[in-house]
Amino acid sequence: MSDFSVWIIVKNLLWATQWTIILSLIAFVGGGIVGLILLFARTSQIKPLEIVTKCYIEFFQGTPLLMQLFLFFFGVALFGIEVSPWMSASLALTLWTSAFLTEIWRGCVESIPKGQWEASSSLALTYIEQMRYVIIPQAARIAVAPTVGFSVQVIKGTALASIIGFIELTKAGTMLNNATFRPFLVYSLVALIYFCLCFPLSFLAKRLEGRLNVAR
Amino acid sequence: MSLVSIRDVRKSFGPLEVLKGVSLEVAKGDVVAIIGRSGSGKSTLLRCINGLETFQSGAILADGLAVGSVHTNLRELRRHVGMVFQQFNLFPHLTAAENVMLAPTVVNNVSKKEARDTAAEVLTKVGLSEKMDAYPSQLSGGQQQRVAIARSLAMRPKVLLCDEITSALDPELVNEVLRVVEQLAKEGMTLILVTHEMRFARDVGTNLVFMHHGKVHEQGPPKEVFAAPKTPELQQFVSGIG
């Protein structure tokens, strides 16, 4: 009897895990795209653009992710626009991810020696061309490890989406706990699944870090 | 008419005035060697010519384009004014040929095939035809600097600015780079070099410029200037080098 319900719990948690993974992927890919655009603005040396992106980044880095989720979920509803938990979670996590990725990548871009900018400037390349052909190909190498490392934060961040009613791993855990009254078992399993998702990524990040350092 | 015309250029970094009214005329085919102590403003002057540095007053005309205003078409300017740096600044993720091909393909929209032919031509000119597919990390300092020269040449510049291009090299590698520059001078390329190689300045230069405290202190044909420096500062500088 007991074994049977453990199996039911596991099965349901695994089902919910797919939504954690999908939400993480959306946030990470979406955040990567938005982050790349912001990166160009942030390092453009065009003052207004830099200030706007800096404010954006400060906002998303300086406020709790949970509050951002509330803003997107409840705040947008105030304007009479109906948003699903699914929609607001994707949007909030995407923007949150983009802010952090932009900052990580900015650091990588700024670590490229000034001479690379000067040489490419002297060859008449425009800023966008310099970024595309000279700076980003080099910065990307450095960025791989911290970017993969940050993806762990994104996965863990998706847990907060449970609070606005999005059914992912954490929300499923809460629901199963309410049904079974076995919090220790349920949340241990939830934690284990998160760990299985995150550990390979942190391990990979460590490995990449070591390898790229040697190559330098 | 001068190819590069510098008139009363002043430039400050904060409270420090680096260029205190520099004027210089460079005609087509000139090989101008700028010498002087470090901090005398040589490199800054060179970097003003292709817009890497801005300046506060005065005027620079390079190939008919006014440099230094917000309206300066830097892209157009830099297509015709090449620059080679002390630290080579090759793109480490690209091979020698790719380094050379980048600007022609991206800026001038030349086809890959044509750009590779040009790369082969200019790399042959600097004696590195067999290193086309080598990465900068696989090349010696002297070879890297020659690739950097080839990279500039591929844009067919009208003027080539060389900023202490042998200063970062081991002594035994200096000559291979200087030989390339000398060859360019012979072919009629207009060159403005900031250099510490006095013998080279004397033998290859058509015009020697001695900068001191942010000004052109003395100038003239190198052999005459070296043989009989007029100002005490240049006398001291020349004798100090021995």
Provide residues of A within 8 Å CB-CB of chain B. Answer: 113, 115-116, 118-126, 129, 133-134, 137-138, 141
Q: Which of residues 42-101 of B touch A (CB under 8 A)?
A: 50, 52, 74-79, 81-83, 85, 87, 89-93
Q: How far apart are CA B165 and CA A122, in angstroms?
A: 15
Taking CA atoms, A26 is separated from A17, A32, A87, A146, A194, in Å, by 14, 10, 11, 19, 17
| Residues of chain B found within 8 Å of residue A214, distances taken between Cβ atoms | none
Q: Torsions phi, psi of B23, nearest 5?
A: -125, 140
pLDDT computed for residue B26 by the predictor: 96
Tell me which residue of B118, B171, B105, B169 sits closest to B141, measured CA to CA. B169
Q: How confident is residue A2, by pLDDT bands cut at 50, 70 and 90? A: low
Number of Cβ within 10 Å of residue B26's Cβ equals 22
Nearest chain B alpha carbon to A216: B137
CA B160 distance to own-chain centroid:
5
- In a 10 Å sphere around its CB, with 0-12 CB exposed, 13-18 middle and 19+ buried, how is residue A105 labelled? buried
Model confidence over B226-239: pLDDT tens digits?
999 999 999 999 88
| Residues of chain B found within 8 Å of residue A134, distances taken between Cβ atoms | 91, 102
CATH fold group of domain A2-215: MetI-like fold (1.10.3720)
Instruction: Give the contacts of A135 (CB within 8 A, at least 6 positions apart).
Output: A109, A112, A116, A117, A120
Q: How confident is residue A214, by pLDDT bands cut at 50, 70 and 90? A: very low
Residue type, B240: G
Number of Cβ within 10 Å of residue B193's Cβ equals 28
Domains located in chain B, CATH noted? 4-241 (3.40.50.300)
pLDDT computed for residue B162 by the predictor: 97
Pairing relation of β-strands B16-26 and B65-67?
unpaired
pTM (2 decimals)? 0.89
CA angle B13, B14, B17 (to 5 degrees): 55
Model confidence over B48-57: pLDDT tens digits?
999 999 999 9
| Residues of chain A found within 8 Å of residue B159, distances taken between Cβ atoms | none
| Residues of chain B found within 8 Å of residue A116, distances taken between Cβ atoms | 89, 91
CA B161 distance to own-chain centroid:
2
Q: What angle, rounded to 10 degrees, do the helices at A2-42 and A169-180 form?
A: 160
Number of Cβ within 10 Å of residue A194's Cβ equals 20
Model confidence over A97-125: pLDDT tens digits?
999 999 999 999 999 999 999 999 999 99
Q: What counts of helices (H) and strands (E) characterise chain B?
A: 9, 10
Structural domain boundaries of chain A?
2-215
| Residues of chain A found within 8 Å of residue B75, distances taken between Cβ atoms | 124, 126
Q: How confident is residue A215, by pLDDT bands cut at 50, 70 and 90? A: very low
**Edge-to-edge order in the sheet of strand B57-62:** B16-26, B4-13, B57-62, B65-67
Q: How far apart are CA B8 and CA B56, in angstroms?
A: 10
Model confidence over B135-170: pLDDT tens digits?
999 999 999 999 999 999 999 999 999 999 999 999
Q: How far apart are CA A58 and CA A60, in angstroms?
A: 6
Residue with tokens 């919910």: A16
Residue by residue, pLDDT tens for chain B (242 residues) are 789 999 999 999 999 999 999 999 999 999 999 999 988 999 999 999 999 999 999 999 998 889 987 778 889 999 999 999 999 999 999 999 999 999 999 999 999 999 999 999 999 999 999 999 999 999 999 999 999 999 999 999 999 999 999 999 999 999 999 999 999 999 999 999 999 999 999 999 999 999 999 999 999 999 999 999 999 999 999 887 65
Tell me which residue of A58, A61, A84 sits closest to A73, measured CA to CA. A84
State the DSSP string of A61-114. HHS-HHHHHHIIIIIHHHTT----HHHHHHHHHHHHHHHHHHHHHHHHHHTS-H
% of chain B at pLDDT higher than 70: 99
Torsion of CA A43, A44, A50, A56, to 10 degrees: -60
Residue type, A66: L
Test mutation, B52, B54, B76, B91, chain A, max A CBs within 10 A: B91
Q: How confident is residue A209, by pLDDT bands cut at 50, 70 and 90? A: confident
pLDDT computed for residue A1 by the predictor: 46
Q: How far apart are CA B120 and CA B98, in angstroms?
A: 11
Nearest chain A alpha carbon to B107: A125
State the DSSP string of B65-124. EEESSTT--HHHHHHHEEEE-TT----TTS-HHHHHHHHHHHHS---HHHHHHHHHHHHH
State the DSSP string of A1-65. -HHHHHHHHHHHHHHHHHHHHHHHHHHHHHHHHHHHHHHHHHTS--HHHHHHHHHHHHHHHHS-H
